[in-house]
Structure 1
Amino acid sequence: MSIYRKVQAVEKVFKALEKELASFKNGTGLNCLSGCGLCCLNPNITATPLEFLPFAYELHKNGLAYQWLEDVQSSETSTCKILRPMLSEGETGFCSQYQYRGLICRLFGFAASRNKMSQLELATCKTIKAEFPEQYQTAKDLIKDGGKVPIMTDFYHQLRAIDTELGRQLMPINDAIEEALKVVLSYYAYRKPYRRRA
């Protein structure tokens, strides 16, 4: 499968997830605290290269892939390279590439994972629990009653089905971005460059 087809397949999974997330948020009233971004500051976030293939592809199309690869490789921070450390006026979030954020960035806070007893539990943060206690309880009740909730493993399995190798290996988020860039740059090294249609 070509890189372009893989990117399309990943974006299709993300689009389906966004619909499920919107439904879950609407049904529970659960949301992030505006301007928070604490989860983005976690230096131990892991991801797969496949999650960032659309981002790497977009950078390649715009002639920025090599620059980003160099920046990621020379970065001394373990926090996500896409993270914007300061908000400017009018900005609502810390992700500088929100459209191309990874799967965990989309799932965390509003999806369920299975505990040791194989029961679904909401995977969310202390801030959401503290700031939105009623909505958090509504979400817990919905999950307990068998209501519709995005399940983390389901979406990771969907990605893995697109490309087993790129979709199975979890690594630090910046390493995942770097690997995605290398895959795209390697793929197009001996192919015609992408040309935008007029």
Structure 2
Amino acid sequence: MTLYQKVQSVERIFDQLDKELGSFQKSTGLGCVANCGNCCLKPDINATALEFLPLAYHLFINGEAEQWLENLQIDKDNKICPVLNKIIAPGAKGFCSEYAHRGLICRLFGFSAMLHKNHKPMLVTCKPIKENKSEAVAKAELHIATKTNYPLISNYYMQVRSIDESLGENLFPIRIAIEKAIQTVLAYYAYRKPPETRKIV
């Protein structure tokens, strides 16, 4: 499988997840608190390199990958996601400057379920949503307890890992995961002709 095919495969999983998330949110009313972004400020977010391969590829074809890699390596003490917008610009969807290429963890957190003891699915969401959208949280918890059509974190990570186990198995702090994804793309195209029209926009 070529690197571009891996990017496409990850994107297909993201598309599938977006549809399932949309259906789940529509059924429950669950959604982010406006202008929050607290989850993006967490210094302990972990992710795989593979889920950021689409971002790394996007940066590469736009001539930004090497600069991003340099910035990440210079600013090693910073634990916050490097894609974070600290100020929301007019018309922006939120605090993520690369929202279309955000990772799997960014898409799942707040609106998905995790298997706990006895393989019982439990809602994974944040404190602001729990405090400000308690009715939607209750609907989401009931939905997860009584139905099967909801995003399950382990299912999506297994799907991603099946694309490339070496890139999709290990979890790293989010900055390192992005750095590894960029390094993977740069290494792949070091001795190959760069793509010309295969842009993810």
TM-score (norm 1): 0.97
Shift of 1:90: 3.3
The residue that corresponds to 2:134 in the other structure is 133
Question: Which residue of structure 2 aligns with residue 18 of structure 1?
Answer: 18
Identity over the aligned pairs, expressed in percent? 49
Q: State the shift of 1:148 in Å.
A: 1.4
Unpaired runs of 5+ residues, structure 1, are: none
Is 1:61 the counterpart of 2:70 in the alignment? no
In the alignment, does 2:149 pair up with 1:161? no
Report deviation, 1:89: 3.2
Partner of 2:63, secondary structure, is: coil
- Could you tell me how far apart the structure 1 residues matched to 2:22 and 2:89 are? 26
Q: Which residue of 1 aligns with 2:94?
A: 93
Q: Mean Cα displacement is larger for which, 1-10 or 87-96? A: 87-96
CA distance in 2, matches of 1:136, 1:145: 14
- The alignment covers a number of residue pairs equal to 197
Q: Tell me how far apart the structure 2 counterparts of residues 32 and 111 of structure 1 sit (CA, whole Å).
A: 13
Aligned match of 2:188 = 187
User: 1:150-173 deviations in whole A, cap 9, x for unaligned?
Assistant: 000000000000000100010000
In structure 2, the CA distance between the partners of 1:25 and 1:82, relative to structure 1 (3 Å rule), is same
Report how far residue 62 of structure 1 moved: 0.9
Q: Which amino acid aligns with 1:60?
A: F
Q: Please name the residue that 1:152 is paired with.
A: 153
Unaligned ranges ≥5, structure 2: none
Residue 8 of structure 1 is matched in structure 2 by: 8
Tell me what 1:110 maps to.
Answer: 111
CA RMSD in angstroms, aligned pairs only: 1.1
Q: Deviating runs (4+, > 3 A) in structure 1? A: none
- CA drift at 1:92: 3.6
